Structure 1
Amino acid sequence: MRHGSFAENLRILLKALVLSRTGLASSLNVDKSLVGRWAAGTVTPSEHNLANLTRFVAEQIDGFTMLDWDRSPADFAARLGVSVEAATATAQLEWVPPAIQEEARRGARHRGWAYEGLWRSTRASSDLPGRFLCDIVEIRSQPEGVIRFRSGIESVRYEGQALLLQHQLFYFGADAQHGTVIFGIFSGIARQRAEVIEGLSLGTLRDAGGSPMASACVMSRLGDLSGDPTEDDRRFEAAVAELTPLAPEDAVSQQVRDRLALTQTPEIPGYLRLLFAHSLSRGAVLETDVM
Structure 2
Amino acid sequence: MKKYTFLTAIALLTFVILLPFYARQEHIRMKTAQTDMRQQYVAEGTEVYLQNCIGCHGEGGQGIGENPALNRFGLEGADPQILFEVISRASHGTVMDTWHREEGTSLSDYQISSLVTMIQYANWDEVAQEALKLGVTPQELSTLALGEVYQSVIDPNDPHQCVACHEDPEVHLGSFGLDCARCHTLEAWTPALLTRHTFMLDHGGEGEVACEACHLNSYVAYTCYECHDHSATEMEEFHTREGYLEIENCVECHPTGEAREAEHLLNAQLSIDG
- Give me the TM-score of the superposition, normalised by structure 1: 0.24
- Of structures 1 and 2, the one with the larger relative CO (CA 8 A, separation 6+) is 2
Kindly name which structure, 1 or 2, has the bigger radius of gyration based on alpha carbons. Answer: 2
| Larger strand percent | 1
TM-score, normalised via structure 2 length: 0.25
